Chains A and B, each alone.
Chain A
Amino acid sequence: MNLERRIGILENILNSKLDSVVPKIPLDFTSFNNMIGPPLHPKTKKPTTIFDYQNELDRIINKYHVVLLNKSRKIGATETALRSVAKNCFGRYAGYDVMFVAGNRQKQADRLLTRFDKLFWQGFTDLDGIKWTYSDIITKKTSSNLEFFNGTTIHTFPAVPESLRGSENVICVVLDEAAHFKLTDDRVIYDALEPNIANTEGDFICISTPNGKRGFFYDLWNEENEYYKLAQPYTVSYGLLLSEEYISRKKNDARIDFEQEFNCQFTSSRKSAFNEELIKFTDVEIDDYSDILGD
């Protein structure tokens, strides 16, 4: 959507009777989810309530804006982030662009958009009792773009640095499984994305399960920086989305690095040939030969 059209939409909204154009959305995350339809339990497919740790993620995103979420698998973190973005599309993000970055291929990224799109399939009834259908809310949907009635646009991208540069008017960037981009040096992804929110002072949300002591997600997690670091290990969802029996099984499965996959620990890569404790260190200062090679 070009800028002219976006301004036109926003002017129309401002000039018209606001209440009849914009759905009245609850500010509370749980109420918003009840309005659009609660998430479904991945196993039973039955609606579940919004749990405390999901509310906490939404609260942190809206309070701190730049967030690193180091999470356990299977606790519904991606779903929560999508729902938090969905709520903000009616408020803070209105009229801006949102970028979803996921996987290394466009198809993987597009799958995330389909999940996001599904949130509105049933439509909803806002706080004024006005029924909003899917086509009232989403005006255009392609495999990699989705446009809201209020000009908010969602774009999906694979983790390819060239495709991530140069976007303007971006209010939010969501990186899903940020530690798992299969790049020799994934810092280029971060470097390409980070300036996109400079103009809008928007949200930067990095979500991932740890993946060894490497990559920009690990670096950001360990550096002193402006990011709010939120860890959500399996314990936050123990007995909720993760059954006791499931966790017990995973703990005893030697093929799984439980501490890394479920307990937010950056251990060595899975099936590592070297145990970290095995390695002995020297106190000698290592010469990088920069004095003789000049770089």
Chain B
Amino acid sequence: MVLDFTKFHETPRRLPTTYIPQSIKFGGLDLGKRVDASAFVCLELKERKLEQVGQHTWNHVNYAVVSDDIVEIQKKEKCRKIGFDRTGVGDAVAELFSPRIPLVPIDTTNMTKNHIINMIRALFQKDKLRITRNGDLFNQILEQQQDVTPAGNITYKHPSSSHDDLFWALGYACYVALPLVNRPKPITRSAGF
């Protein structure tokens, strides 16, 4: 038997400098306080586009239930990162979660919130984010209101009569996913013989 080594030269292997899987999932978790529910949104990053694949809302249940459920969801989705709001009850509640959950704390100051809203808007504009038409998330996005303060600053709020938990869960998921959405295309190099 004669080995034909020329074939190896015809199809040189191309190895990327970094390994990027076909799809990565990210989660966002908004922990309800007194009035709001807790909500989770899961996004899948494929070809540099985020697409919503899951969501769940917990209406006024205790945080232990939420943390147990997140463990189950994580077993299924295997999110690389789950962003959550560390302010308010966030930090304390995070201690209830299993250390295996890849929680990423986000300090949600007014400035961060404005940044997240602008980021969501930019992702939609560039067609890098797609969500489900059905359910409450769409309505919650539309209900985010923009105000201009007397000093000329833009602030965002939602009507006191409505929820915005899914909206912020989406925002936190986008926030932790953004570095990979914006990541430049990996440089590949030939590694032939």
Residues of A bordering B, CB below 8 Å:
181-184, 186, 212-214, 268-274, 276, 278-282, 284, 286-289, 292-293
Q: Looking at the complex, which of B6-14, B50-58, B95-103, B177-185 is the stretch in contact with chain A?
A: B50-58
A281 and B133 contact, Cβ closer than 8 Å, known pairs A182-B160, A269-B143, A287-B42: yes
At the interface, is chain A mostly helix, strand, loop or mixed? loop
Q: Please report which residues of chain B, range 57-108, place their CB below 8 angstroms from some CB of chain A when the two chains form the complex.
A: 69, 72-73, 75-76
Asked if B3 is at the interface (CB within 8 A of a chain A CB), the reply is: no
* Closest A-B pairs by Cβ, 7 of them: A282-B130, A287-B54, A268-B142, A273-B144, A273-B146, A182-B161, A286-B132
Set of chain B residues within 8 Å of A289, measured between Cβ atoms: 54, 56, 69, 72-73, 76
Contact of B156 among A212, A270, A273, A276 (CB under 8 A): A273
Q: Are A273 and B131 in contact (CB under 8 A)?
A: no
Contact of B145 among A270, A286, A293 (CB under 8 A): A270
Set of chain B residues within 8 Å of A293, measured between Cβ atoms: 56, 69, 72-73
Q: Closest residue to A277 on the B side, CB-wise?
A: B124
Set of chain A residues within 8 Å of B132, measured between Cβ atoms: 281-282, 284, 286
A76: min CB distance to chain B, Å: 26
Asked if B187 is at the interface (CB within 8 A of a chain A CB), the reply is: no
At the interface, is chain B mostly helix, strand, loop or mixed? mixed
Q: Are A272 and B143 in contact (CB under 8 A)?
A: yes
Set of chain A residues within 8 Å of B160, measured between Cβ atoms: 182
Contact of A286 among B52, B143, B146, B159 (CB under 8 A): B52
Q: Closest residue to A279 on the B side, CB-wise?
A: B124
Set of chain B residues within 8 Å of A286, measured between Cβ atoms: 52-55, 132, 134-135
Q: Looking at chain B, what size class is its interface with the partner chain?
A: 35 or more
Contact of B117 among A181, A273, A279, A292 (CB under 8 A): A273
A132: min CB distance to chain B, Å: 43
Q: Are A282 and B124 in contact (CB under 8 A)?
A: no
B133: min CB distance to chain A, Å: 5
Q: Are A274 and B141 in contact (CB under 8 A)?
A: yes
Give bound CA distance, A286 to B42, whole Å. Answer: 9
B111: min CB distance to chain A, Å: 16
Give bound CA distance, A124 to B117, whole Å. Answer: 60
Give bound CA distance, A106 to B129, whole Å. Answer: 45
Asked if B18 is at the interface (CB within 8 A of a chain A CB), the reply is: no
Residues of B bordering A, CB below 8 Å:
35, 42, 51-56, 69, 72-73, 75-76, 117, 120-121, 124-125, 127, 129-135, 138-139, 141-147, 156, 159-163
Q: Are A186 and B52 in contact (CB under 8 A)?
A: no
Give bound CA distance, A269 to B133, whole Å. Answer: 17
Q: Are B145 and A280 in contact (CB under 8 A)?
A: no
Give bound CA distance, A165 to B42, whole Å. Answer: 39
Q: Closest residue to A214 on the B side, CB-wise?
A: B139
Give bound CA distance, A286 to B133, whole Å. Answer: 10
Give bound CA distance, A213 to B75, whole Å. Answer: 35
Give bound CA distance, A181 to B162, whole Å. Answer: 11
Set of chain A residues within 8 Å of B121, measured between Cβ atoms: 273-274, 278
Set of chain A residues within 8 Å of B139, measured between Cβ atoms: 212-214
Q: Are B144 and A272 in contact (CB under 8 A)?
A: yes
B176: min CB distance to chain A, Å: 19
Q: Closest residue to A291 on the B side, CB-wise?
A: B76
Give bound CA distance, A273 to B129, whole Å. Answer: 16
Q: Closest residue to B65 on the A side, CB-wise?
A: A293
Q: Are B145 and A288 in contact (CB under 8 A)?
A: no
Set of chain A residues within 8 Å of B51, measured between Cβ atoms: 282, 284
Give bound CA distance, A269 to B141, whole Å. Answer: 10
Q: Closest residue to A270 on the B side, CB-wise?
A: B145
Give bound CA distance, A281 to B137, whole Å. Answer: 11
Q: Closest residue to A185 on the B side, CB-wise?
A: B163
Most chain B Cβ neighbours within 10 Å, of A184, A273, A279, A292:
A273
Give bound CA distance, A271 to B125, whole Å. Answer: 18
Q: Are B142 and A276 in contact (CB under 8 A)?
A: yes
Contact of A281 among B55, B130, B142, B162 (CB under 8 A): B130
Give bound CA distance, A273 to B156, whole Å. Answer: 7
Give bound CA distance, A35 to B26, whole Å. Answer: 69
Q: Are B72 and A280 in contact (CB under 8 A)?
A: no
Q: Are B53 and A287 in contact (CB under 8 A)?
A: yes
Set of chain A residues within 8 Å of B129, measured between Cβ atoms: 280
